[in-house]
Structure 1
Amino acid sequence: MDKAVINQLPIESLRGKRVFVRIDADIEQPANGSRVDEDKLRAALPTLEYLAAMAARVVVGIHLGAPGGIPVDALRVNAVAERLSLLIGKKVRKLDEAIGRNALAAVTEMRDGEIIVLENLRFYPGEDANDVEFARDLAKLCDVYCNDAFSLAHRGTASTVAITRHVRPAAAGLELARELTMLEPVLDKPEPPSVGLVAGARIEEKLPILENLLPKLNRLFIGGALSFAFLKAQGQEIGAARVSEALLPLAEGLLYQAEKKVEIILPEDFIVVQANLFRVFESSGRRIPVPHSKPVLASELLPSELGVDIGPRTLKRIKQLIDGAHTLFWNGPLGIWEIAPFAAGTREVARALLDGQRVRRSVVCGDSLARAIRSFDLPFEQMRHLTTGGDSVLQLVAGKPLPAVAALDNEVDLIAPVKKHPNKILLAVDGSAPSLEAARKIGGLVDTEGAEINLLYVQKPAEVGSEKKPMDAESKRRRELERRLDAERVVAAANGPLARQGLVSRRQIVVEGDPASEILKFADEMGVELIAMGSHGRTGVLGFFLGSVSRKVLDHARCPVMIARVPGQQQTEF
Structure 2
Amino acid sequence: MLEVAGIERMQQTKSVRDIDIKDKRVLIRVDFNVPMDHEFNISDDTRIREALPTINYCIDREAKSIILVSHLGRPKGKDSDFSLKHVLKRVERLLGKTVVFADDIDSAKSIQATLKSGHIILLENIRFNAGEEKNDPLLAQELAQLCDVYVNDAFGTSHRAHASTHGIAQFVSQKVAGFLLKKEIDSFAKAFTNPLKPVLLIVGGSKVSSKLALLNNILDLVDKIIIGGAMSNTFLQAQGYDMQKSLVEENLINEAHHILEKAKQKGVKVYLPVDVVSTNDLKTHQEIKITPAQDVPQDFMAVDIGPASTKLFNQVIRDSQTIVWNGPLGVYEISQFSRGTFNVAHSISDTYAFSLIGGGDTADAVERAGERDNMSFISTGGGASLELLEGKVLPAFEVLDQRE
- TM-score of the two chains, using structure 2 as the length reference: 0.92
Q: Pick from 289, 292, 298: which aligns with 2:293?
A: 298
Q: Confirm whether residue 6 of structure 1 aligns to residue 16 of structure 2.
A: yes
Q: Confirm whether residue 17 of structure 1 aligns to residue 24 of structure 2.
A: yes
Q: Pick from 379, 382, 393: which aligns with 1:390?
A: 382
Q: 1:298/1:348 Cα in 2 relative to 1: closer, same or farther (>3 Å)?
A: same
Question: Which residue of structure 1 aligns with residue 145 of structure 2?
Answer: 140
Q: Secondary structure at 1:338's aligned position in 2? A: coil
Aligned-residue offset at 1:171: 0.7
Could you tell me how far apart the structure 2 residues matched to 1:395 and 1:20 are? Answer: 26
Q: 1:163/1:244 Cα in 2 relative to 1: closer, same or farther (>3 Å)?
A: closer
For the Cα contact (< 8 Å) 1:336–1:342, is it kept in 2? yes
Q: Pick from 364, 370, 378: which aligns with 1:371?
A: 364
Q: 1:129/1:244 Cα in 2 relative to 1: closer, same or farther (>3 Å)?
A: closer
Q: 1:6/1:270 Cα in 2 relative to 1: closer, same or farther (>3 Å)?
A: same
Which residue identity lines up with residue 382 of structure 1 in the other structure? Answer: N
Aligned-residue offset at 1:114: 2.4
Q: Confirm whether residue 402 of structure 1 aligns to residue 384 of structure 2.
A: no
Could you tell me how far apart the structure 2 residues matched to 1:279 and 1:223 are? Answer: 18
Question: Which residue of structure 2 aligns with residue 347 of structure 1?
Answer: 342
For the Cα contact (< 8 Å) 2:161–2:396, is it kept in 1? yes
Structure 1 unmatched runs, 5+: 282-289, 413-574
Q: Secondary structure at 1:330's aligned position in 2? A: strand
Question: Which residue of structure 1 aligns with residue 67 of structure 2?
Answer: 59
Question: Which residue of structure 2 aligns with residue 94 of structure 1?
Answer: 101
Question: Which residue of structure 2 aligns with residue 265 of structure 1?
Answer: 271
For the Cα contact (< 8 Å) 1:150–1:176, is it kept in 2? yes
Could you tell me how far apart the structure 2 residues matched to 1:105 and 1:279 are? Answer: 54
Structure 2 unmatched runs, 5+: 1-10
Q: Pick from 332, 335, 343: which aligns with 1:337?
A: 332
**Alignment deviations for residues 22-65 of structure 1 (CA, whole Å, 9 cap, x no partner):** 011224x6533438652211111111111112221211011122
Question: Which residue of structure 1 aligns with residue 308 of structure 2?
Answer: 313
Aligned residues: 391
Could you tell me how far apart the structure 2 residues matched to 1:25 and 1:15 are? Answer: 25
**Alignment deviations for residues 498-548 of structure 1 (CA, whole Å, 9 cap, x no partner):** xxxxxxxxxxxxxxxxxxxxxxxxxxxxxxxxxxxxxxxxxxxxxxxxxxx
Q: Pick from 233, 237, 240: which aligns with 2:242?
A: 237
Q: 1:376/1:112 Cα in 2 relative to 1: closer, same or farther (>3 Å)?
A: farther
Could you tell me how far apart the structure 2 residues matched to 1:191 and 1:60 are? Answer: 38
Range that drifts further, 173-182 or 109-118:
109-118
Aligned-residue offset at 1:304: 3.0
**Alignment deviations for residues 295-327 of structure 1 (CA, whole Å, 9 cap, x no partner):** 222133222332221111111111111111111
Could you tell me how far apart the structure 1 residues matched to 2:364 and 2:262 are? Answer: 32
Paired residues for 1:111-260 under 5 Å: 111-260=116-265
For the Cα contact (< 8 Å) 1:200–1:332, is it kept in 2? yes
Could you tell me how far apart the structure 1 residues matched to 2:41 and 2:24 are? Answer: 31
For the Cα contact (< 8 Å) 1:54–1:113, is it kept in 2? no
Percent identity between the two aligned chains? 34
Q: Secondary structure at 2:187's aligned position in 1? A: helix
> Which of the pair has the greater relative contact order for Cα pairs under 8 Å at 6+ separation?
2
Aligned-residue offset at 1:279: 4.5
Could you tell me how far apart the structure 2 residues matched to 1:376 and 1:244 are? Answer: 29
Question: Which residue of structure 2 aligns with residue 39 of structure 1?
Answer: 46
Which residue identity lines up with residue 322 of structure 1 in the other structure? Answer: I
Aligned-residue offset at 1:195: 0.8
For the Cα contact (< 8 Å) 1:199–1:332, is it kept in 2? yes
Q: 1:14/1:109 Cα in 2 relative to 1: closer, same or farther (>3 Å)?
A: farther
- TM-score of the two chains, using structure 1 as the length reference: 0.65
Could you tell me how far apart the structure 2 residues matched to 1:18 and 1:35 are? Answer: 31
Aligned-residue offset at 1:410: 0.5
For the Cα contact (< 8 Å) 1:200–1:225, is it kept in 2? yes
**Alignment deviations for residues 385-437 of structure 1 (CA, whole Å, 9 cap, x no partner):** 1111110111111111211111100136xxxxxxxxxxxxxxxxxxxxxxxxx
CA RMSD in angstroms comes to 1.8
Q: Pick from 76, 82, 85: which aligns with 2:89?
A: 82
Could you tell me how far apart the structure 2 residues matched to 1:370 and 1:129 are? Answer: 29
Could you tell me how far apart the structure 1 residues matched to 2:39 and 2:308 are? Answer: 40
Could you tell me how far apart the structure 1 residues matched to 2:186 and 2:175 are? Answer: 18
Larger radius of gyration: 1
For the Cα contact (< 8 Å) 1:15–1:112, is it kept in 2? no
Could you tell me how far apart the structure 1 residues matched to 2:74 and 2:249 are? Answer: 31
Could you tell me how far apart the structure 2 residues matched to 1:33 and 1:188 are? Answer: 44
Could you tell me how far apart the structure 2 residues matched to 1:373 and 1:33 are? Answer: 25
Q: 1:92/1:396 Cα in 2 relative to 1: closer, same or farther (>3 Å)?
A: same
Which residue identity lines up with residue 272 of structure 1 in the other structure? Answer: S
Range that drifts further, 367-376 or 301-310:
301-310
For the Cα contact (< 8 Å) 1:200–1:226, is it kept in 2? yes
Paired residues for 1:428-507 under 5 Å: none
Could you tell me how far apart the structure 2 residues matched to 1:171 and 1:280 are? Answer: 47
Could you tell me how far apart the structure 2 residues matched to 1:410 and 1:280 are? Answer: 51
Question: Which residue of structure 2 aligns with residue 492 of structure 1?
Answer: none
Aligned-residue offset at 1:280: 5.0
Q: Secondary structure at 1:126's aligned position in 2? A: coil
Aligned-residue offset at 1:125: 1.5
Which residue identity lines up with residue 375 of structure 1 in the other structure? Answer: R
Could you tell me how far apart the structure 2 residues matched to 1:188 and 1:200 are? Answer: 25
Could you tell me how far apart the structure 1 residues matched to 2:32 and 2:154 are? Answer: 9
Could you tell me how far apart the structure 2 residues matched to 1:271 and 1:43 are? Answer: 37
